[in-house]
């Protein structure tokens, strides 16, 4: 029940109509019997949204494209990880002090850590956007040998240099012989569910393949990986993990990850 004591949490981004963040977080609030609500706001000017957090006492916010970097000057504090990454995906309002965090790296690394030790592994990340930055940062922190592929060579090389990684072309994948491949692009997202970011011929049973896309859960890349006998990690795992970390920052309580994932699967299956 909504009342005057209900805490408001928000998603700020543009666009936001596709986001399943409200489904996941509201399911978590319900499961934890927390008097709170999470709503999505399409925001073009992030400074005005941050002002609204202060004036309306919004308890916390998720930050998505295109504001993860541009929001930083309007915050009061940042934790070390967000500062090192140069990107914020979570804001917590601590009695009027707005503190920025980043849970994206944890979202990617935790599912990988459950199936392997990343230290020394040859990891190829496809993409050079905000998601690729977060994944690269998390993987690099774990001691992986990082390689990056991107359609735009200039952008790919720039991020690779920043992350201490090696930029390669798609044709170089066989030579690198990656042990882990991560798609950090939107290729394969609905409605273009047959798009795939690389030649499936590169895949082999010993590989771990991860996709950040979660609509559909089984993307063309994940399907191809499963057919080749790879260990496949779908995008829902990363999304739930970063969302669980956000929930814990928001509430100070352990996230009900099973309920969060169940709520997402139900919505995705009904689409």
What angle (nearest 5°) sits at the alpha carbon of residue 5, between those of residues 244 and 103?
A: 20
**Rg of the chain over CA atoms, in angstroms?**
19
Q: Is residue 252 located within the same domain as residue 146?
A: no
Q: Is 174 a catalytic residue?
A: no
- Same domain for 145 and 227: yes
**Are residue 67 and residue 92 in the same domain, yes or no?**
yes
If one counts the domains in the chain, the total is 2
Q: Is the pLDDT of residue 72 over 80?
A: yes
**Hey, which bits of the chain come out as E strands?**
7-13, 36-42, 60-63, 77-78, 90-94, 97-101, 122-126, 145-149, 166-167, 180-183, 208-211, 231-233
Domain span holding position 195: 106-233
Q: Give the whole-angstrom CA distance, residue 87 versus residue 12.
A: 14
Indicate whether 138 belongs to any domain.
Answer: yes
pLDDT exceeds 90 at position 138: yes
- What pLDDT band is residue 269 in, cutting at 50, 70 and 90? confident
Burial environment of residue 116 by CB neighbours within 10 A (0 to 12, 13 to 18, 19 or more): middle
Query: Of 45, 57, 68, 204, which one is the catalytic site residue?
Result: 68
- For residues 107 and 213, give the distance between their C-alpha atoms in angstroms, rounded to a whole number: 13
Same domain, yes or no, for 110 and 224?
yes
Please say if the pLDDT value at position 174 is more than 90.
Answer: yes
Q: Kindly state whether residues 223 and 113 are assigned to the same domain.
A: yes
Half-sphere exposure in the Cβ direction for 92 (13 Å, CA) = 17
With respect to residue 2, please indicate whether it lies within any of the assigned structural domains: no
Is the per-residue pLDDT at 262 higher than 80? Answer: yes
Q: How far apart are CA 156 and CA 19, in angstroms?
A: 26
**What's the pLDDT tens digit per position in 77-102?**
999 999 998 889 999 999 999 999 99
Taken in order 186, 102, 158, 147, is the CA torsion positive or negative? negative
* pLDDT, tens digit, 9 for 90 and up, residues 181-224: 999 998 998 888 999 999 999 999 999 999 999 888 999 999 99
> Worst-scoring range by mean pLDDT, 65-69, 110-114, 228-232, 259-263?
65-69
The enclosing domain of 27 has a CATH number of 3.40.50.10860
């Amino acid at each position: 029940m909504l009342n005057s004591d209900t805490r408001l949490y928000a998603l700020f981004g543009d666009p936001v109509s596709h986001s399943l963040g409200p489904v996941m977080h509201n399911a978590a609030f319900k499961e934890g019997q927390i008097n709170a609500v999470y709503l999505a706001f399409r925001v073009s000017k992030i400074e005005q949204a941050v002002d609204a957090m202060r004036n309306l006492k919004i308890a916390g916010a998720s930050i998505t494209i295109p504001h993860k970097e541009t929001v930083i000057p309007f915050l009061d504090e940042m934790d070390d990880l967000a500062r090192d990454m140069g990107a914020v995906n979570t804001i917590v309002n601590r009695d009027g002090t707005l503190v920025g965090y980043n849970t994206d790296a944890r979202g990617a690394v935790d599912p990988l850590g459950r199936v392997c030790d990343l230290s020394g592994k040859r990891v190829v990340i496809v993409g050079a956007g905000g998601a690729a930055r977060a994944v690269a940062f998390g993987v690099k922190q774990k001691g992986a040998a990082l390689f990056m592929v991107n359609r735009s060579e200039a952008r790919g090389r720039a991020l690779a240099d920043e992350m201490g990684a090696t930029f390669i072309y798609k044709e170089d994948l066989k030579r690198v012989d990656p042990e882990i491949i991560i798609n950090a692009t939107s290729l394969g997202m609905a409605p273009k569910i047959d798009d795939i970011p690389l030649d499936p011929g590169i895949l082999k049973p010993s590989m771990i393949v991860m996709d950040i896309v979660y609509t559909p859960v089984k993307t063309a890349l994940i399907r191809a990986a499963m057919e080749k006998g790879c260990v496949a990690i779908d995008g829902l795992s990363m999304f739930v993990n970063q969302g669980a970390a956000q929930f814990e920052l928001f509430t100070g309580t352990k996230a009900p990850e099973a309920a969060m994932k169940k709520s997402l699967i139900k919505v995705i299956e009904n689409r």
